[in-house]
Structure 1
Amino acid sequence: MKFRFLVIIAVGLLASCNTKTIEINNPNKGKLHATKTLKLVETKKILLDADTAPKPQYIQIFKDTSGIRNFTFLNRYTNSIYFYDYNSLEFIKKITYDKEGPDGILGPMGYHIKTLDSIYVYNMPFIELFLTNGKGQVLTKKSLAGSNNLKKSPWYYRYPQYYPRTVTPFLETPKKLLFTGQFMFSVPDSIINTFKLTANIDYNMNAIEFGHGYPKELYGHGYNWNDQILTDAFLELHPDGDKLIYSFPISHDVYITSLYSEGYQKMYAGSNEAGSISSIQKEIKKTNREILGRSILGQDLYGALKYDKYRKIYYRFICRAIPDATIHTSLEEKPVGIIIMDKDFKYLGETILGIGKEWNWQNSFVTEEGLNIEYLEEDDIDEVALILKIFTVKDI
């Protein structure tokens, strides 16, 4: 927490005081016609041990060489990755990492299983990536912040910070492993053209390159988006295989780019009900938590984009505005919605699930069965199960 505080102070001092504002309109509000909706088709309850709670930081579905779909998740309390059979829901095993020593990983926050002996683990306290085997042993590691001294150097102006979740996963491409981060606060104009979001990591961990920045039309020009919720970046692979798609919270569009070059093509991917999204109308140095809260709670903000290759459709999450929110309103009270689009981003419909206190949309992923979303059962006070609700698309 102390280190995060140092970053906040540095950014606050260096950010521009001449804040301009932008209002991002939804050109298709009220004009779109729904033909599809989401239908609940299955519920899975995964029984947990006494050391494990629902709402894990990170989930990955991994198919092993025997064809078993492993439901895996990170238990930060035990420094372990748990493996369950996704079909039978039976526990298989867990891989536990030391916190200290030659195989120590102090603070794992995300991982990617390429094979059972090639597991990449992100160590958040030191902004580094470990390549490990299936026994919890470290094979090699690499800094994601260059050779900078994390306590003294303003490395965060050049390299992204990472907060991996199930909806912001590592992504496999033929040659590189992709890992997307963000700038945690309002992006200064001095770096808007140079700051890159996504690490392109060689599978052998020999080299790391960085690509794709924030669209200047959204985040440049001194616009105040001074919170990590507003500067989040959600990445998805395009079904063509050679493109990427970014979803930003403040844009009704998504941004498509090449794996191998810069530059974006915009595609509308908005909600029929979402209103305009406005930057904060205060200088950055005068932005307090109450002002940020009103901006985040009082506006519609977009979330992750997930492609369903089995049905050739996209799902885009949206957290709905609470117009009458107060300083006592929780972020978890925002209603969670899902926009459905075809492979060309043609609008098909949208569905409101409920509030974020019940629907942990950040633990969502696609399988052959449909869109899996973690559901938080209010009366599960003993936290005995991790619950997944699975949805498919049906005609209205």
Structure 2
Amino acid sequence: MLIFTNNLSENRNVFIIFLLLFYSCQGEAENKLLEVIKVKELKIKPEVLTIPNPPYVHLIESDSGQYLFYLNPNSKSLQFMNMEDGKVANEIILEYDGPNSMSRRSGIAGLENDKVWTTFRPHAIAYFNYKAEIQFKKDIPSGEVDITYVGSSFQKGLHQYGDKVFGMQPLFMNHHGMNKDDIQKHSLVYSYDMVSDQTKWYDVYYAKDYWDSGKKLSNFSWVRREDKLYIAPWYDHEIQVFDMQKEQVTIKVEAKSDHINSFYYVNEIPGTHEEGLLNILNNDLYGIILYDKYRDCFYRFFYPGFTDDEEYAIDKLWMLRNSRPFTGVMVLDKDLNIIGEHIFDKFQVHASSNVFVGEEGLYLSLNNENSPDYDEDHLRYMVVQFEVGE
């Protein structure tokens, strides 16, 4: 049994000892089942009204307290909210005209010291200060395939390493007009050198067998650990590790959940929006990957397919897509060995956004849009750690 305690150094030692014992006796068995240790629940009423699952959430832990950074769509600003009392400690008011306009913003790509990274349509990267003044902006030229869009989020962020800024392009530009061989032309990773003013696309692609069984969709989340980026596709089991210093993929690991067995193949355009949404819900997919620096492990979320006999209106289908009925999480060690996995109760958590890691554990939103406990007035979190069941 593995238990994460409140002593961080003790956690690390226990964790390593457990892994040595665990993998020395592990054969071809299925993934271990993880049990949840609930550290605490939080219910926060924001001083300034926001949505229950705000985008671009980032936890800041300091000597002065815990602060949640997020985009408030209601006020069109980025806010730093004190998690103790819900008050806004700082606010970045975004402008939508003039030289600092955010009207063509395609995502918030990361928070770094006193600047906020962002992306712009059609394909530019930038950062601005806490006064919302754009300090840097650069168009990203296409590689072998013409790109029409570059987006971002905190799970699809920009990462600076030395003089270079690394970004991603996870989407196929012409899904229905391309063939299997074209996959190896769609580079997933680029960098911009802020000294030489040069952009470089890398030989990083989805797996060569990505379309062997049909035309899977394209998307991935990535996360940074030290000088490496961990690329976790939504529609494939394989995680690739990109070394920013060597500027190449150094490791590929099959990290399969026991519950992910049927991906959505889009060989032709669905006849209706309802059909497309049902196909997404009926099939499995992976989601966000997070790195836990306190326990030196990774969390890879996944969503088993969901079917029932009830007919849903399109608005309800969108809600089910945004807050999947069933959510699971795999825990992997720093070498991407699977420690185990856990599936939460139906509608228990919302994990397609608004999930993050803190010193006490993994923060999960309890505001699943389809739950009877969904609360539009509060931010609600469950902080968890995991142990391997006997």
Q: Confirm or deny: 8 A CA contact 1:159 1:195 kept in the other structure.
A: no
- Name the structure 2 match of 1:55: 53
- Name the structure 2 match of 1:368: 359
Tell me which stretches of 4 or more aligned residues in structure 1 moved more than 6 Å: 379-382
Distance 1:101 1:356, change over 3 A: farther
Q: Distance in 1 between matches of 2:29 and 2:309?
A: 27
- Name the structure 2 match of 1:320: 304
Distance 1:243 1:50, change over 3 A: closer
- Name the structure 1 match of 2:98: 101
**Aligned-partner residue type, residue 93 of structure 1:** N
- Give me the TM-score of the superposition, normalised by structure 2: 0.75
Secondary structure, aligned partner of 2:240: strand
Q: Distance in 1 between matches of 2:373 and 2:90?
A: 24
After superposition, the C-alpha distances for 1:25-55 in whole angstroms (9 at most, x for unaligned) are xxx9x93252642322122333224542222
Q: Distance in 2 between matches of 1:84 and 1:252?
A: 36
Secondary structure, aligned partner of 2:103: coil
Q: Confirm or deny: 8 A CA contact 1:303 1:319 kept in the other structure.
A: yes
Query: What percentage of residue pairs aligned between the two structures are identical?
Result: 19
Q: Confirm or deny: 8 A CA contact 2:58 2:70 kept in the other structure.
A: yes
Of 249, 258, 271, which residue of structure 1 is paired with 2:243? 258
Of 361, 364, 379, which residue of structure 2 is paired with 1:386? 379
Q: Distance in 1 between matches of 2:136 and 2:356?
A: 29
Secondary structure, aligned partner of 1:219: coil
Q: Distance in 2 between matches of 1:357 and 1:393?
A: 16
Q: Distance in 1 between matches of 2:136 and 2:337?
A: 44
- Name the structure 2 match of 1:138: 134
Q: Confirm or deny: 8 A CA contact 1:131 1:140 kept in the other structure.
A: yes
Distance 1:278 1:355, change over 3 A: same
- Name the structure 2 match of 1:18: none
Q: Distance in 2 between matches of 1:68 and 1:214?
A: 41
Structure 1: segments with no counterpart, 5+ residues: 1-27, 147-154
**Aligned-partner residue type, residue 46 of structure 2:** L
1:41 aligns with 2:39: yes
Q: Distance in 1 between matches of 2:66 and 2:197?
A: 30
**Aligned-partner residue type, residue 55 of structure 1:** N
Q: Confirm or deny: 8 A CA contact 2:165 2:192 kept in the other structure.
A: yes
Q: Distance in 1 between matches of 2:32 and 2:194?
A: 42
- Give me the TM-score of the superposition, normalised by structure 1: 0.74
- Name the structure 2 match of 1:84: 81
Q: Distance in 1 between matches of 2:309 and 2:250?
A: 35
1:128 aligns with 2:124: yes
Q: Distance in 1 between matches of 2:156 and 2:378?
A: 23
- Report the more deviating stretch, 164-173 or 304-313: 164-173
Q: Confirm or deny: 8 A CA contact 2:56 2:108 kept in the other structure.
A: yes
Deviation at 1:340, TM superposition (A): 1.7
Q: Distance in 1 between matches of 2:381 and 2:374?
A: 17
Q: Confirm or deny: 8 A CA contact 1:300 1:321 kept in the other structure.
A: yes
Distance 1:253 1:68, change over 3 A: same
Distance 1:367 1:49, change over 3 A: same
Secondary structure, aligned partner of 1:192: helix
Q: Distance in 2 between matches of 1:341 and 1:292?
A: 32
Q: Confirm or deny: 8 A CA contact 1:293 1:327 kept in the other structure.
A: no
Q: Confirm or deny: 8 A CA contact 2:363 2:381 kept in the other structure.
A: yes
Deviation at 1:219, TM superposition (A): 3.4
- Name the structure 1 match of 2:222: 235
**Aligned-partner residue type, residue 222 of structure 2:** L
Q: Distance in 2 between matches of 1:356 and 1:181?
A: 31
Q: Distance in 2 between matches of 1:145 and 1:158?
A: 8
Secondary structure, aligned partner of 2:155: coil
- Report the more deviating stretch, 355-364 or 308-317: 355-364
Taking only aligned residues, the RMSD between alpha carbons, in angstroms, comes to 3.5
Distance 1:210 1:302, change over 3 A: same
- Name the structure 2 match of 1:310: 294
Q: Confirm or deny: 8 A CA contact 2:234 2:285 kept in the other structure.
A: yes
- Name the structure 2 match of 1:173: 161
- Name the structure 2 match of 1:268: 254
Q: Confirm or deny: 8 A CA contact 1:180 1:233 kept in the other structure.
A: no
Secondary structure, aligned partner of 1:297: helix
Distance 1:131 1:169, change over 3 A: closer
Distance 1:41 1:264, change over 3 A: same
Q: Confirm or deny: 8 A CA contact 2:349 2:364 kept in the other structure.
A: no
Deviation at 1:334, TM superposition (A): 3.4
Q: Confirm or deny: 8 A CA contact 1:141 1:205 kept in the other structure.
A: no
Deviation at 1:376, TM superposition (A): 0.7
Deviation at 1:309, TM superposition (A): 2.2
Distance 1:40 1:276, change over 3 A: same
Deviation at 1:373, TM superposition (A): 1.9
Deviation at 1:257, TM superposition (A): 3.1
Distance 1:134 1:276, change over 3 A: closer
Q: Distance in 2 between matches of 1:236 and 1:82?
A: 23
Of 208, 211, 214, which residue of structure 1 is paired with 2:205? 214
Of 132, 147, 151, which residue of structure 2 is paired with 1:159? 147
Secondary structure, aligned partner of 2:208: helix
Give the total of aligned pairs: 349
Q: Confirm or deny: 8 A CA contact 1:181 1:233 kept in the other structure.
A: no
Q: Distance in 2 between matches of 1:63 and 1:178?
A: 25
